[in-house]
Amino acid sequence: MSTYELELDGGADAGVVVAALSGELDLTNARELEERLEAAAPATALLVVDLNRVVFIDSAALHVLFKLARQRGREHLALLLEPTAAVSRTLDIVGMKDALRIVPTLDDLRPASSSEV
């Protein structure tokens, strides 16, 4: 049985919840992962799933992410994923970027402030 960890961080913005995952995501834990991610943030909040420390992801876990993308939409779900992350190529191959936003840093989710001079 593979293992993973999920850490939640409400962050400074009340409307953003970051779910940082690490380990292996596969058939053995996909159902639990889905339940935990669904409960992690209200539907009106932005749920950011950080996959940078995930070392393996299979089709069952990918299905969970696609399902969340359909349920939450682009406005309420994003993936945090650096181009060099272990599962980056896998998500690229399956076209995850067409289903939801994928950004390398949290700062890329925030619109630029117009008050900066």
pLDDT digits (tens, 9 = 90+) for 37-71: 999 999 999 999 999 999 999 999 999 999 999 99
Q: Which of 19, 37, 29 is nearest to 56 (CA)?
A: 29
- Cα gap 58→11, rounded to integer Å: 29
Block residue for tokens 């889905």: 34
User: What does pTM read for this prediction?
Assistant: 0.90
- Domain ranges in the chain are 4-72+90-105
| Per-residue pLDDT reduced to its tens digit, 76-98 | 999 999 999 999 999 999 999 99
Would you mind telling me the total number of residues written for the chain in this entry? Answer: 117
> What beta strand segments (E) does 1-117 contain?
4-9, 16-25, 46-57, 77-80, 101-103
Average pLDDT over residues 21-33: 98
Which homologous superfamily is 4-72+90-105 in? STAS domain (3.30.750.24)
CA dihedral 5, 19, 70, 98 (to 10 degrees): -100
